[in-house]
Structure 1
Amino acid sequence: MLALQKSKQWMTLRAKKLKEDICMLFKSSNDTVVKMSLVDKLQHLGIDHLFEDQIDTAMWQILKSEFSNYNLYEVALRFRLLREHGYCVSPDVFNRFKSEDGSFINGNGSLKTPLAQQVQRALQIPMPRTNKRVEMLHYILEYEQEEHNPILLELAKLDFNLQQNVHLKELKAIIRWWKHFLGYIELSFIRDRVVEGYTWASVLYYDTKFELTRSMITKMIVLITTLDDIYDNHATLEDSWKLHEAIQRWDKSAAFLLPEYLKKFYMEMLRTFENIEAEMLANTNYDIAHLKKAVQNNVTGYLQEAKWSHRNHKPSFVDQVKLTSLNIGVPTICVSMMAGMSDAMMKTALKWAASVPDVVISVGKISRFMNDIGAFERRKCKGDMASTVECYINEYNVTSEVAITKTVALIEHEWKTLNQARFQNHLPALQQFISLAISTTFFYGNRNDIYTG
């Protein structure tokens, strides 16, 4: 244990020295292309979070600097970086690389590894929608094979190892909490998704300073999953009404409303929120009342689904999407994510997230559509309420492939909404909502459903 502690201390000190060296790289060059390349490498290596101020300054300088270049790579790099950082750059910069019919002029030569692998990944998932942590795992190995800056590579490896140490410690603690929770509530039909929940939280907030935020997001994910399982798989319509009423009251005295098998769950849920509130009050100015309200709204949606299911009601595709894109839990998770905002921004960000703005609805739709595509085959055999894909098939009398193609098009439409929001709203919270949309690809991409199983 002592040797491990010394190792952590050495890694921390070494990482600090490397960060200072990289800060000097920002200061030592006025070349726009060099700065763009540095920012791009830091992002790919997953260490851009260590240089937020330097990158913000560099991006402003890149925007304002003279740039007249006939190299497609450099023009494309500048365009992508500025767009990613919320600057509205015209796509007209690519006109010089297009033929008269509007298509790009073919270049000569072939791509070599690892560049070919990077291009292949970008063709599967566009770079702005790529999960940083997943890309980083690929890119560290690839960057080592290229002509590279050893300082950047060493810091990326050290930062990853330091974060892994923290994440593993947190995961052990959250698993202990979850085992106690499951053991106390005694509901055997509940899915055990605590590891997946923590993975999701650590993808959204991976910096070591966000321990409380990761813990709260994880707990919200598994609580939403638990509520979903109760409403979907076990509760009668009468039980669903009673649980809804108790959660709207949000008071221990409301436990008498519930059937015996739900009383322990209800009490433990309230206790979990009490503990979260105590942690937040001790460390931040996060107002947990917004989170309680988000859960109450979530449960109201679950009750509506339960009524549809028990009454064999088949909603229209539009009504189905409107309800289930919120029921997937995105508004609740977005509110919990605001615990990671700075104290100066938290009140504004939390109020905005709790209002369920259009961007949160778009993230909910992306998550719902990707979830339903990934779970389509499983849901056909499950017996719960029809997914959006099945609803579209039934309403428009089309094949599953036609329905999935339409759903993919709707996902693209919602991404356009999010991309437009980047340029209209520079609140830090917006990027967190976009990160949540990006994270759905990790669990539901390629028509898979890793989370539900």
Structure 2
Amino acid sequence: FATAIERWDLSAIDLLPEYIKLCYCALLDAYSEFEKDLASKGILYGLPFAKESMKILVRSYIIEARWCDQQYVPTMEEYMRVALLSCGYLLLSTSSFLGMEDIVTKEAFEWVSGNPKIVQASSIICRLMDDIVSHKFEQQRGHVASAVECYMKQHGVSEEEAVKVFREKVGNAWKDINEELMRPPVVPMPLLERVLNLARLMDVLYQNNDSYTNPHLMKDHVAALLKDPVFFED
């Protein structure tokens, strides 16, 4: 699958087993539709960056799959180098820019795809908050080691101690985001707000439970947003 993704060509489908061919075709079809839409708006320059972020995500998945197969528990540093990519935040941030045709430039795509500090901080929030609430269930189903297992093994500490350290890291990541938002913007503020809002989403999804895996837990949030919104007067 990784080889087919790197080639990014329908002819590569012959490399794949039957069970994943549909997924590969759907992925290429989706990006083909993006390409048509972006070309009509004159902002096709953003698509290569979105494709590359998808390739980066798949590469990180392959590494984690290898770790899982080998029952390997990496060091925290080794884990985070991969996990901050496998959480998908870089892909989400880069892809979210595709719909901002009025203000997004090629330079903005170069900026976000370079994994700037605000994106790194948001990735830390996503990854660590996810691992804190989901690691027990994931280990029961034979998932790759999470940050919790990696930190406990490397430092010889309890789960509670590891979680405490991670919550401090999440707090520091929010400080980094606020710091970056206070600086003179290197890209238009609406683009920075995209990155910020995705971090806010992660905070909602993983605040107390794994609401990504258990979407019914988001029912009240969705109702508050769509059914019973709160309006503020100017």
TM norm. shorter chain > 0.5: yes
User: How far does the alpha carbon of each residue in 1:149-189 deviate from its partner, in whole angstroms, 9 at most, with x for none?
Assistant: xxxxxxxxxxxxxxxxxxxxxxxxxxxxxxxxxxxxxxxxx
Aligned to 2:226: none
CA contact (8 A) 2:97 2:104 kept: no
Aligned to 2:14: 256
Aligned to 1:449: 210
CA contact (8 A) 1:338 1:346 kept: no
Considering Cα pairs closer than 8 Å and 6+ residues apart, tell me whether 1 or 2 has the greater RCO. Answer: 2
Q: How large is the RMSD of aligned CA atoms in angstroms? A: 1.6
Aligned to 1:34: none
CA distance in 1, matches of 2:104, 2:79: 34
Q: Does 1:288 align with 2:53?
A: no
CA contact (8 A) 1:326 1:361 kept: no
CA contact (8 A) 1:285 1:343 kept: no
Aligned to 2:228: none
CA distance in 1, matches of 2:134, 2:175: 24
CA distance in 2, matches of 1:433, 1:364: 10
What does 1:8-407 correspond to in 2, within 5 Å? Answer: 243-283=1-41, 285-286=43-44, 287-407=46-166
Deviation at 1:441, TM superposition (A): 1.5
State the TM-score, normalized to the length of structure 1: 0.45
State the TM-score, normalized to the length of structure 2: 0.84
Moved over 4 A (4+): none
Deviation at 1:249, TM superposition (A): 0.3
CA distance in 2, matches of 1:351, 1:312: 36
How many equivalent pairs are there? 210
Deviation at 1:339, TM superposition (A): 2.1
CA distance in 2, matches of 1:307, 1:249: 21
- Give, as a single letter, the amino acid of the residue that structure 2 aligns with 1:358: K
CA distance in 1, matches of 2:26, 2:103: 32
User: How far does the alpha carbon of each residue in 1:53-99 deviate from its partner, in whole angstroms, 9 at most, with x for none?
Assistant: xxxxxxxxxxxxxxxxxxxxxxxxxxxxxxxxxxxxxxxxxxxxxxx
CA contact (8 A) 1:359 1:417 kept: yes
- Give, as a single letter, the amino acid of the residue that structure 2 aligns with 1:445: Q
Q: Does 1:434 align with 2:196?
A: yes
- Give, as a single letter, the amino acid of the residue that structure 2 aligns with 1:395: Q
Q: 1:418 aligns with which of 152, 157, 177?
A: 177
CA contact (8 A) 2:133 2:210 kept: yes
Deviation at 1:440, TM superposition (A): 0.8
CA contact (8 A) 1:341 1:349 kept: no
The 3 A distance-change label for structure 1 pair 254 and 425 is farther
Note the residue ranges of structure 2 that are not aligned, 5 or more in a row.
215-234
Between structure 1 and structure 2, the one with the greater Rg is 1
User: How far does the alpha carbon of each residue in 1:30-69 deviate from its partner, in whole angstroms, 9 at most, with x for none?
Assistant: xxxxxxxxxxxxxxxxxxxxxxxxxxxxxxxxxxxxxxxx
Deviation at 1:346, TM superposition (A): 3.1
